Structure 1
Amino acid sequence: MTRIRITVTINGAVVERAVDPRMLLSDFIRHEARLTGTHVGCEHGVCGSCTVQVDGSPVRSCLLFAVQVDGREVRTVEALAAERDGALHPLQEAFHAEQGLQCGFCTPGFLMSVEPVLDRVEEMDDAQIRALISGNLCRCTGYEGIVCAVREAARKMASPSRSRPGGAS
């Protein structure tokens, strides 16, 4: 089979590879870019564990071919990594503080689904949060800790003391 050369920017780094046209984005991220934070669960787009952001929007990486993101920007959970001073992203802090994770398998998908929304809103009620996370499945937590974590992260990220992405406060 003919391989196709693609160039994808993942977490700010350019990744160029010749890939099989049928290679899934989830496999490209894990095996070609060597970023293993994106988890593969159901491989049918149902569980949300493989959620990443493409050009700022959450997508299921198990439902896209890598060639479909040629020339685009992909963000994985690794982009939320601790700051140089060791501080976690407010969403990660909230998941930890509010017991929003147990085994952690689904957590990267939740984080990548929620994070772009929290950058745009200042407050969310529980019904909005539950609607936001409805595309992600967790078998451990019962969701209450996740809802509390998202609510807390929204509060923290809306705080005037926190610098907003793009230089705004």
Structure 2
Amino acid sequence: MSAELTRPVSLEINGRTVDADVPPRMLLVDFLRESLDLTGTHVGCDTSQCGACTVHVDGIATKSCTIFAVQADGSCVTTIEGLDPEGRHPLQMSFQRCHALQCGYCTPGMIMAASSLLNTDPAADAEAVREAIEGNLCRCTGYQPIIEAILEAGRELQL
């Protein structure tokens, strides 16, 4: 791609600096998936309704299909792969224990939305959890196991 059709970006992604030239209209989700092979961030709806693409941008849960990669320039981005590279984060473990996943498609986005909440309020109650994940859709679980898993992880994080 010629230089005039791309823009330079520098981001910290999952703890490492990434410098790249990207098309100005490339979505952050596409940059993560296509350029960096971070495929845990899912594309579910292409309309920012489902939340499957939720990542943290500077610590805030953000639907990565709603911003361009150039808008994230200079930001710190955490994907599900960077939450805990060993997959042992309390949320990841509680989702397994509470059977809060079935097909698993929504799970990375749910976990990222929940971790944003628990980072600021590990003692969040069920109402706060529902509010935190209201932008994330799940078609399999009925949400109750997800809420239970988030509450369980919050209790663990308080210890």
TM beyond 0.5: yes
Q: Secondary structure at the match of 2:123?
A: coil
Residue aligning to 2:128: 128
Residue aligning to 2:147: 147
Q: CA deviation at 1:12?
A: 0.9
Percent identity over the alignment is 47
Query: CA separation in 1, counterparts of 2:71 and 2:122?
Result: 33
Q: Which runs of 5+ in 2 are unaligned?
A: none
Q: Which runs of 5+ in 1 are unaligned?
A: 160-169
Indicate which of 26, 36, 53 corresponds to 2:29: 26
Query: CA separation in 2, counterparts of 1:158 and 1:120?
Result: 11
**What is the correspondence of 1:71-86 to structure 2 with a 5 Å cutoff?**
71-83=74-86
Root-mean-square deviation (Å): 1.3
Aligned length, in residue pairs: 156
Which amino acid in the other structure matches residue 52 of structure 1?
A: V
Q: CA deviation at 1:46?
A: 0.6
Q: Secondary structure at the match of 2:21?
A: strand
Q: CA deviation at 1:82?
A: 4.7
Which amino acid in the other structure matches residue 45 of structure 2?
A: C
Q: Secondary structure at the match of 1:119?
A: helix
Query: In the alignment, does 2:38 pair up with 1:54?
Result: no
Query: In the alignment, does 2:113 pair up with 1:110?
Result: no
TM (normalized to structure 2)? 0.93
